[in-house]
Amino acid sequence: MQSNHFCKSVRIQYICAVLLLIMAGIFLTGCGDEVTIPSYDEEVEPAKEVSLFAVVSNLDEVNGKISLKAVNHASEITLEYTGGVDVRDKYGDILSMSQVGLGSVVDAVYDENRNKLLSLYISSNENIQVFKEVSGAEIDYLTRTLRLDGKNYRIAENAAAFSDNKEIGLDEICSEDQLTLWLYNDEVCSVFVELGHGYVRLSDYASYLGGMVEIGYDVIVPVTEDMLLTVREGEYTLRIAKGDDVGTKKIEVIKNQEVDISLADLVIEPKQVGSVLFKLTPSDAQVYIDGRRVNMEGAVELVYGKHKIYIVAEDYETYSGTLNVNFAYKVMEYKLKKTDETSDSDSKTKTTQAATTENGTTAQTTEAANTEQSSTEQSSETSTEEQDGVKDVNSVTGTQTANKVTVSGPIGASVYFDGEYLGIAPMSFTKVTGSHIITLSQTGYLSKSYTVTFSDDGKDETLTYDELDLISSLLGYFHQDDSRDARLNRKDGIMKKW
């Protein structure tokens, strides 16, 4: 009896609970709220995996987005990614996304339905070549080729260039820059600027005009007025030589910035001197070095470098040559040849003239040098004149043509051609064949260089460039979370993996 009573009680409780649920549903429905019952039979859309052979063109680590530019066709896609993405180098070792450098050629897989990256591998394709720490690469924009170590490589139509954390134009790359090149089937598909360039402006240079300025191994040019040199970023010893005087100064070149270097406080290098002991046959021969007779009683001290030497003696043929002094001490032996009977009188005359007209010889040499120098200066003055509003240039490379190049903008910017100041834009100058660097500079703005290539095609050229960036924009650059040191560390990590 007790069991039946218990069962009835349970049933009553169950019925009451069901009635309460029904009443609650009616109450909620009466209030205008719909009750949604989830369906567990609804199918989730499966991932649609797509493979992509591409160049990394942008990486936004803050928002978790990456942009990929296809290698073999002109298309670009931006994908979302998370920390769970499978990222590896070409050897299969795991990488973090921050170690993937811009310009890297990768094999990517993404979910097309969700626009999400699934995996990213640095490509191990056998047709991929990577050249690191490349210096002196020259880009010819007329033929779309890049010349490196005497070999020409074609530049792909959709090739991209990168510097720091952004994409740049290929014409913003200079031969002074240090690069990483990615090639596919011997075509350049991406370029990353490892070390860019800054600018060196010389002041207090008047006493060094006509000399040579040397910065590192890439920049060796004559000193001209108001020059602005494009130099790879880094620390250097600036060296200027004019005549026997050589001066040096430590400088630092910062990427995209201009530094003014005064030549007034150059440290003059002590001249290196070597001693030469002459052993002559005949022993009474007379020796002239650089047009002056020297005393043969002991060793002769000479400044390092090349010297013109003449040795004369009666009844012997005169010796004429070059003596290169690059040693601390050395014994030099010279044996003159005897003249024959028939040319004896002529030889005596020549010998006597050389031996007895030391001052005259020197004067003649000096006069010839002065005449040559005067001619050179005249030529230089003529070459820097403007003809019909077209400035002539003194380029050390290339051939001047009958055509002109006009830089129409940015208006008001100073125009430099291979470091030589030409004038204020808009302006025109003589067209010179070959690859050259045009630099634009303006007070309060960041200087900028462009590489150009001209040919003797009988046509005038007009170049218009974007406005220069204000110097104040540098503040934003240096306050980015992704600092230069961080980017270099990130790049070094992936370089080691390659």
- Domain borders along the chain are 1-37, 197-268, 273-366, 386-464
Q: Cα separation of 329 and 313, whole Å?
A: 25
403 CB burial (10 A radius; 0-12, 13-18, 19+): middle
Q: Which CATH number describes the domain made up of 273-366?
A: 2.60.40
- Residue 488: per-residue pLDDT: 41
Architecture field, domain 197-268? Sandwich (2.60)
The 8 Å CB, 24+ separation contacts for 291-300 are 291/358, 291/361, 291/362, 291/365, 291/366, 292/358, 292/362, 293/358, 299/275, 299/329, 300/275, 300/276
Three-state SS at 165: coil
Q: Fold match between 197-268 and 386-464?
A: yes
The Cβ of residue 19 has, within 10 Å, a number of other Cβ atoms equal to 10
Return phi, psi of residue 170, to 5°: -60, -30
42, 90 contact by CB (below 8 A):
no
For residue 134, the number of C-alpha atoms closer than 13 Å in the C-beta half-sphere is 21
Chain segment 247-267, per-residue pLDDT in tens: 889 999 999 999 999 988 887
- pTM for this entry: 0.61
DSSP 46-97: PP-EEEEEEEEEEEETTTTEEEEEESSSS-EEEEE--TTSEEE-TTS-B--G
Q: Give the domain 386-464 fold.
A: Immunoglobulin-like (2.60.40)
CA-angle at 350, arms to 349 and 351, nearest 5°:
90
The Cβ of residue 390 has, within 10 Å, a number of other Cβ atoms equal to 18
189, 183 contact by CB (below 8 A):
yes
> What does the pLDDT profile of the chain (498 residues) look like in tens digits?
444 554 556 566 666 665 666 665 555 555 545 545 555 545 677 889 999 999 999 999 999 999 999 997 778 999 999 989 999 999 999 999 999 999 999 999 999 999 999 999 999 999 999 999 999 898 888 889 999 888 999 999 989 999 988 999 999 999 899 999 999 999 999 999 999 999 999 999 888 888 888 998 778 888 888 999 999 999 999 988 887 678 889 999 999 999 999 988 887 666 788 899 999 999 999 999 988 888 888 899 888 878 889 899 988 998 988 888 888 889 999 999 988 744 444 444 443 333 333 333 333 333 333 433 343 333 333 333 445 688 888 766 788 899 999 999 899 999 999 888 899 999 999 999 988 899 999 888 889 999 999 999 999 999 999 999 887 755 554 444 444 444 444 334 433 333
Structure letter (DSSP) for residue 377: H
Q: 115, 81, 118: which is closest to 98 by C-alpha?
A: 81
- Residue 99: per-residue pLDDT: 93
Tokens 């052979």 sit on residue: 53
- Residue 18: per-residue pLDDT: 57
Residue positions counted in the chain: 498
